[in-house]
Amino acid sequence: MKIIVLVKQVPNTSEIKIDKLTNTLIRKGVESIINPDDLAGVEEALKLKSRYGGTVTCVTMGPFQAESMIRTLYGLGVDHAYLISDPKFAGSDTYATSTILSSFLKTLEYDLIIAGYQAIDGDTAQVGPQVAEMLELPQVGHLHAICGYQDGVLQVEREDETEILTIDVRLPALVTTLRRMNTPRLMNAWDAFRATSKPFTLVRFGDFPVNELKIGLKGSPTQVSKTYTKVLVQKAPIEKVDAKEASKKILALLYPYLGVK
C-alpha cells in the first residue's frame, strides 16, 4: 500500500506565550513539534505498512526549519519525505494550502492519503477535507481507528459526538486522524542513525503545475483583519461562606435550570 501522510510542524502550544504589545505568538524559544493529529496519522501509516507492506511518504509544507521534523519522521521509520517550501507559498490560508498540496499530490502515486484532523496552531480542520475534494477522493474524517484492509477496501471507525461509525472505504481515499487514536512509537536506533544522512526532496514553486493566482497570501480568500487576545471578565460573584451555606446558595442558583422544586 502506498501511503502519503500530510504533516505539519507546529509550535508546541502548551508552552505558548503571547506578546502583549503586538498580540502575536512569541515563537522564539518555543519548541517545534510534529502536529499531534498528524503524528497519529504517521503512526497509523507505519502500522499499516508493517501489516500490509508498502511505503510511507510524508509531505509537508513550511519553512526550511521543518527539516528537523523530517529527520524525526525518518527516525520513526518513514520512507521518504517531501518539503514543499517557496516564498511564493508563504502566507497561504487553508484553501491556498490545500490548492498547493493537492496540485503536488497529483504528481505522486498513492493508495491512501492520511491527514491529521486539525493542527493545534490553527484548529481549522479544513485542509484534509479540502485536499480530498480537490483530488476528488472519497474521504472519512475524524477517525477513531483504522481496523484493517482487504481487497482495496480500508475499514475504519469514525468518531461522532454520540456514536462510532464503522465505515468501509474503497481506496484511493483520504482519511483524517485524531491524536487520541494511538500512542506514537518511539524512534528506533536503526532508522534514527540513518535519518541524518537520508535525503528528502525539496519542492519549489515551478516543480509542479499550480495556479499562481490561487496560492500564497494574495491567492488566499481568507484575510485576517485583526487578532486580539480575549479579555476574560469575572462575572460570577464570589462569596466566602461555610460548606453548608455554600451548598444551599449553589442549589438556589441551579433550581431554575433543573426544573424541580
- Contact residues toward another protein (CB under 8 A) are 71-72, 75, 186-190, 192-193, 195-196
Q: Quote the least distance from Cβ 48 to another protein, whole Å.
A: 19
At residue 245, the 3 state secondary structure works out as helix
Q: Quote the least distance from Cβ 179 to another protein, whole Å.
A: 17
Distance in angstroms (rounded) separating the CA atoms of residues 131 and 103: 9
Q: Quote the least distance from Cβ 53 to another protein, whole Å.
A: 20
- The percent of the chain in helix, strand and coil, each rounded to the nearest 5, is 35, 25, 40
- The CB density around residue 179, as the number of other CB atoms within 10 Å, is 19
Do 64 and 86 contact (CB within 8 A), yes or no?
no
Q: Quote the least distance from Cβ 196 to another protein, whole Å.
A: 6
* Nearest by Cα to 65 from 18, 112, 32: 32
Q: Could you tell me which residues come within 8 angstroms of residue 85 by beta carbon, excluding any fewer than 6 positions away?
A: 61, 62, 63, 64, 66, 202, 203, 204
CB nearer to another protein: give 108 or 187.
187
Name the phi and psi angles at 204, rounded to 5. Answer: -110, 170
Do 71 and 195 contact (CB within 8 A), yes or no?
yes
Would you give the distance in Å from CA 145 to the centre of its chain?
A: 16
Q: Quote the least distance from Cβ 68 to another protein, whole Å.
A: 9
At residue 119, the 3 state secondary structure works out as coil
CB nearer to another protein: give 193 or 255.
193
**Counting every residue, how long is the chain?**
261
Q: Quote the least distance from Cβ 162 to another protein, whole Å.
A: 35
CB nearer to another protein: give 138 or 184.
184
Computed on alpha carbons and rounded to an integer, the radius of gyration of the chain in Å comes to 22
Q: Quote the least distance from Cβ 191 to another protein, whole Å.
A: 8
